[in-house]
Amino acid sequence: MGISPCRRGPVRLAVYMLAVQASIIAPTDTTGHPVESARAPGGGEVARAADAPPARAGGPPTALPIAHRHGLGYGGFGHGQAPARAPGTAGTGEERSVAQRAESVLENAARRARAAEPRGTRSARKTRRARANTRLAHAQAMLRLKRAGLRRTSSGRCANRWIRTCTSLENVREGSVRKVIRLKRRSGCPVTITGGTEVGHAPGRRSHGSGHKLDVALNPCLDRYITREFRPAGIRSDGAQLYQAPNGDVYARESDHWDILFR
């Protein structure tokens, strides 16, 4: 049983009114979000999406952020996104890594510089100093001296280090032996050793006992060479006149010999 034509008009009107009423009660925006009413300054109502940021003046309504549409709020990070780092900043771990790389570069540069050091630098001087402090046995020292044309004398005619009247070269420094040989070659004078490392000499860090000093007999040729080539360096406490060589060696003229400190 159908509706008569005369009643279709009121029915359509009722259906239309119900649809309009429903749209006024719960309007939605284009994205499907419910729209709430906002009171306009003039007293009217303006419909806007709930929780949406207000539209910019003079422009279209601001679209909702993706994070907001996913229900994460304006400060959320969806789908594994990380917060953006401020430009020009680096995390603590990254800064440490940069510092370590810079330090490694400096260390490599210093290593290359040390490898390229020429002869005569600090490392070479250390090598020469270590060689000069090498200790020799009496027989080793005497072999070098005899080959260079030097002599040794002893009032006791012995080489025992623990007897005062002996002249011993036991435990003498290699540098002291090398320098006394150089003295003979440069002066062209005879050189005779009268005192070495035996007991009876004054003790000290640089003394006969430590292998830094040797006694050499006086002779006119050697006396002239030392006093002419080396500069006067004062008088020692026992009255001996001191002369110093350019390399720092000190020659003290005693009554019957030169007391030489080889540095």
Structure confidence by residue, pLDDT tens digits, 129-138: 778 889 999 9
Q: Which of 69-73, 91-95, 98-102, 148-152 has the lowest average pLDDT? A: 69-73
Whether 62 and 52 have beta carbons less than 8 Å apart is answered as: yes
| CA 221/CA 229 separation, integer angstroms | 12
pLDDT surpasses 70 at 191: yes
**In-domain check, residue 121:** no
| CA 53/CA 82 separation, integer angstroms | 23
**In-domain check, residue 191:** yes
Tell me which of 28 and 114 has the higher pLDDT. Answer: 114
| CA 136/CA 152 separation, integer angstroms | 16
Tell me which of 203 and 77 has the higher pLDDT. Answer: 203
Per-residue model confidence (pLDDT) at position 101: 73
Whether 242 and 235 have beta carbons less than 8 Å apart is answered as: yes
**In-domain check, residue 19:** no
**In-domain check, residue 228:** yes
Task: Please report, for residues 50, 76, 78, 84, the alpha-carbon distance to residue 70 in angstroms, rounded to integers and kept in the order given.
Answer: 14, 9, 8, 19
Number of domains forming the structure of the chain? 1
Ramachandran bin of 71, using left for φ above 0, alpha for ψ from -120 to 50, beta for the remaining angles = left
With CA atoms as reference, report the closest residue to 192 among 227, 223, 219, 210.
Answer: 219
Q: Quick count: other Cβ atoms within 10 Å of Cβ 75?
A: 9
**In-domain check, residue 113:** no
Which range of 58-62, 87-91, 175-179 scores highest in mean pLDDT? It is 175-179
With CA atoms as reference, report the closest residue to 182 among 213, 144, 154.
Answer: 144
3-state SS, residue 198: coil
**In-domain check, residue 86:** no
Per-residue model confidence (pLDDT) at position 109: 75
Per-residue model confidence (pLDDT) at position 126: 73
* Residue range(s) defining the domain that contains residue 190: 134-261
Percent of the chain with pLDDT over 90: 48
Q: Residue 167 contacts by C-beta under 8 Å, 6 or more apart in sequence?
A: 152, 153, 154, 158, 159, 193, 194, 195, 196, 198
**In-domain check, residue 171:** yes
With CA atoms as reference, report the closest residue to 127 among 195, 58, 175, 64.
Answer: 175
Per-residue model confidence (pLDDT) at position 14: 57
Q: Is the pTM of this model over 0.75?
A: no
**In-domain check, residue 250:** yes
Structure confidence by residue, pLDDT tens digits, 200-257: 999 999 999 999 999 999 999 999 999 999 999 999 999 999 999 999 999 999 999 9
